């Protein structure tokens, strides 16, 4: 199982975790930082990978370009502008490995560049006569962002809303030039026997120019008059809805 010093917040920020069935002994990894941000002209960065388990662990690091489709689903393609050194390494128990991230060019685009680096635990070789077994192999992807050449301008727009049983479905669009990570969406209620506000506990990235639909369930009979969307780059954004009027 993955353990990090950052706890639950670190796990959320570093999603997704992909667990693969292999003949292996799952070790414990600590990756720091859990999110990398390059300045517009910055060429290199470092990530530290630590083995907090009791056995040697071999790891493969794979950089990918990160985009999102029309539904806000993550799409990964082989990286052409981000390099990782070393790509494969072994860490002894209690030891650490410095992994260097490098940009092919120092030029920055009009919008923020988005990548991930996936750290995958490699299955060790079985000894002679060792029986096959099943265990979990870790794959962890950390976000890597490259700042745009112009001033960062996060902008989160409410595209549409629809009342649904017990809540509301909303479509949010990132019309800025940098990513927006939605950390929480709270609904403010109207009507008898309703709490003043209820959190929908949403965590998701919207890359520049992408749109995503959220079905927010606040409870039986909920009528939502407004939403508070808390983000990492755009702050807290308030939207009034027509349903409580």
For 56-100, how does the pLDDT look when each residue is reduced to its tens digit (9 = 90+)?
999 999 999 999 999 999 999 998 899 999 999 999 999 999 999
In tens, the pLDDT along 174-217 reads 999 999 999 999 998 876 676 778 888 888 999 999 999 999 98
Say which residue, 100 or 1, is predicted with more confidence.
Answer: 100
Q: Is residue 57 a contact partner of residue 90, using CB atoms and an 8 Å limit?
A: yes
Q: Domains in the chain, start-ordered, CATH in brackets?
A: 7-146 (2.60.40.10), 156-244 (2.60.40.3970)
Q: What is the largest CA-CA distance in the chain?
A: 73
Phi-psi region of 5 (alpha: psi -120 to 50; beta: other; left: phi over 0): alpha
Q: What is the pLDDT of residues 105-124, one digit of tens each?
A: 988 899 999 999 999 999 87
Q: Is 241 helix (H, G, I), strand (E, B) or coil?
A: coil
């Amino acid at each position: 199982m993955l353990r990090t010093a950052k706890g639950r917040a670190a796990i959320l920020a570093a999603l997704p975790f992909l667990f693969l069935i292999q003949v292996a002994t799952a070790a414990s990894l600590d990756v720091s930082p859990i999110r990398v941000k390059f300045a517009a002209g910055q060429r290199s960065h470092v990530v530290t990978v630590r083995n907090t388990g009791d056995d040697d662990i071999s790891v493969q690091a794979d950089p990918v370009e990160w985009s999102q489709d029309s539904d806000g689903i993550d799409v990964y393609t082989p990286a052409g502008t981000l390099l990782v050194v070393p790509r494969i390494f072994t860490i002894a128990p209690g030891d650490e490995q410095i992994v260097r991230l490098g940009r092919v060019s120092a030029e920055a685009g009009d919008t923020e560049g988005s990548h991930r680096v996936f750290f995958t635990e490699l299955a060790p070789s079985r000894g002679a006569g060792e029986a096959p077994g099943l265990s979990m192999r870790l794959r962890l992807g950390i976000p890597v962002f490259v700042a745009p050449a112009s001033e960062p301008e996060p902008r989160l727009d409410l595209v549409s809303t629809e009342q649904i049983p017990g809540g509301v479905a909303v479509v949010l669009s990132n019309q800025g030039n940098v990513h927006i990570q939605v950390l929480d969406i709270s609904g403010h209620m109207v009507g008898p026997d309703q709490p003043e506000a209820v959190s929908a506990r949403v965590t998701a990235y919207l890359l520049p120019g992408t749109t995503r639909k959220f079905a927010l369930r606040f409870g039986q009979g909920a009528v939502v008059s407004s939403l508070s969307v808390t983000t990492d780059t755009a702050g807290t954004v308030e939207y009034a809805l027509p349903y409580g009027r």
